[in-house]
Chain A
Amino acid sequence: MILIDHDECIFCGGCSSVCPASAIELRGTRVATYPEKCIDCGLCVKACPANVIEMFKGIKRVEDLPEEVRKKYNV
């Protein structure tokens, strides 16, 4: 799955346009991600011009993320 630093996100939709799994969508004023669809390809991480996306390979649920990561991203 991926996490996005929403404070630094510039809301350009670049991640969504390269996501082959339709796992990222611009919704309202926020980028929504669907971890169950994410295939951990990392294309969004590379395309992101603001460098605000981090990938956590093999993890599908927020609960399984390391504690410090959850704190950092406030999830």
Chain B
Amino acid sequence: MADIETDVVVVGAGPAGSTFARIAAQHGLDVVVFDKRKEIGNPVRCGEGLGVAEVMKEGLDLPRYTYSIEIYGAKVVGPKGQEIILRNENTRGWVLERKYFDKWLAELAIGKGAKVYAYHRAFDVKRDADGITLYVADGDEKVKEIRAKMLISAEGMEALIARKLGFPTVHRLYDVDTCYQYEMEPYDHENLIELYFGNEIAPRGYVWIFPKAHKRANVGIGIGAHLATGNKRGGLPGATPKVFLDKFIVNDVQLKEASSLLNFGGVISVGEPINKFVDDRVMVIGTAAKQVDPIHGGGIELAMEAGVMAAEAAAKAFEKSDMSKDFLYNNYEAVWRSTRGKEIETRLKLRKALESLSDDDLNHIFDTLSGDDVLAVMEGKLAGPIAKVLKGRPSLLKVLKPLMLG
């Protein structure tokens, strides 16, 4: 006899899991969510940027305590220091306080009737013809058995339960950026997210400065993990994200005088989504499915969006009593791939083109493009900006060609 019986069990109470739980519970399903962290939303492993689109689409109103400041747009900086300002209606957003934002999303789910357990680590899973059994260990390592008709993996980067269910959630080194971040103070800013590019600055990645309230800022870096060389492995000494970030900071007029309040790091996915999101009685959503923007590594919006899609699919599945892989595919995975999936594909090609550019090429692009051009690129309208770049530097045709074909 199981300790808990429910319609749906969700692994992970991040933005994906809590959004799923909220919508599924709203549809009348019994939903139980487990998160291994002692406190939902903590520790924070994120740059904390969120764009306006998803929140608007869902009609959510962020309470003041869930974010640090509002953002109007972005400042993108090239290797030589060229600045391009991106600012319009769609570039608005927030730098969140993830600790409170994630808790708020979980509370919304609880408000709709979902049950959330923090400090419960899912460690094993078994599936049979009639349902799924998930094994979780609480803070005292006491094991509980959860019996559900459906399981949602919203586990984030590691996705151990999804892995045990046969989903290819292991990341290739080439497809992750290894990241380091400080919270620093004081930093004067213009309510713009700042992104710095260049092979000397951050090979196959970028440095970000996400401003926060009270002159604080998240100052972080991501570099291609395949280019990082742990010096303990006997390779190039010092090619770690922290070393690159520290170099950036001592060269920055403001930051070199600033203090650091918090250090942390992590690994983010910049590769393609996994090749299947569903199986019988199972859906994988958010970062666990590698639904992450390949350019900037952001995953909150995509996670919330997939949470909504999967919850709608779950509601239909329970209505029709059909938890089959095919049903879940048609109602969640196919919908995602034909909409957001297309956009991610284009952005992955863009990432691959960008990473093959030298600083000289990057400088040419930064000197050539305007803010409107870059905004067009971000929206997937590549033809105009590419033509502009090629006009001054036809040699880039080879690199940019894959982008023009689709």
B-facing mask of A43-63, CB < 8 A → 1, else 0? 101111111011100000000
How many positions in chain B have a CB within 8 Å of any CB in the partner chain?
36
- How many contacts A-B (CB < 8 Å)? 95
Q: B264: shortest Cβ distance to chain A, in Å?
A: 5
- Determine the distance from Cα of A37 to Cα of B121 in the docked complex, in whole angstroms: 21
Q: A12-B267, A17-B171, A18-B173 are in contact. Are A49 and B180 (CB under 8 A)?
A: yes
**Which of B105-113, B221-229, B278-286, B347-355 has 4 or more CB atoms under 8 Å from chain A?**
B221-229
Q: In chain B, residues 149-172, which have Cβ atoms closer than 8 Å to a Cβ of chain A? A: 156-160, 163, 169-172
CB-based contact A22/B225 at 8 Å = no
CB-based contact B264/A10 at 8 Å = yes
Residues of A within 8 A of B176 (CB): 14, 17-18, 47
CB-based contact B228/A46 at 8 Å = yes
**Which range contains the number of A residues in contact with the other chain?**
20 to 34
Residues of A within 8 A of B241 (CB): 49
Check if A26 is an interface residue, CB within 8 A of chain B.
yes
Q: A13-B266, A18-B267, A46-B173 are in contact. Are A51 and B230 (CB under 8 A)?
A: yes
CB-based contact A47/B267 at 8 Å = yes
CB-based contact B157/A13 at 8 Å = yes
Q: B183: shortest Cβ distance to chain A, in Å?
A: 13
B243 to A, closest residue via Cβ: A51
CB-based contact B160/A46 at 8 Å = no
Query: Footprint of B on A, CB under 8 Å?
Result: 10-14, 16-20, 22, 25-28, 42-43, 45-51, 53-55
Q: Could you write out 23 A-B pairs with CB less than 8 Å apart?
A: A10-B264, A10-B266, A13-B157, A14-B267, A16-B158, A16-B160, A17-B157, A17-B158, A17-B176, A18-B172, A18-B267, A20-B170, A22-B163, A27-B121, A45-B232, A46-B228, A46-B233, A47-B176, A49-B180, A49-B240, A51-B231, A51-B242, A55-B233
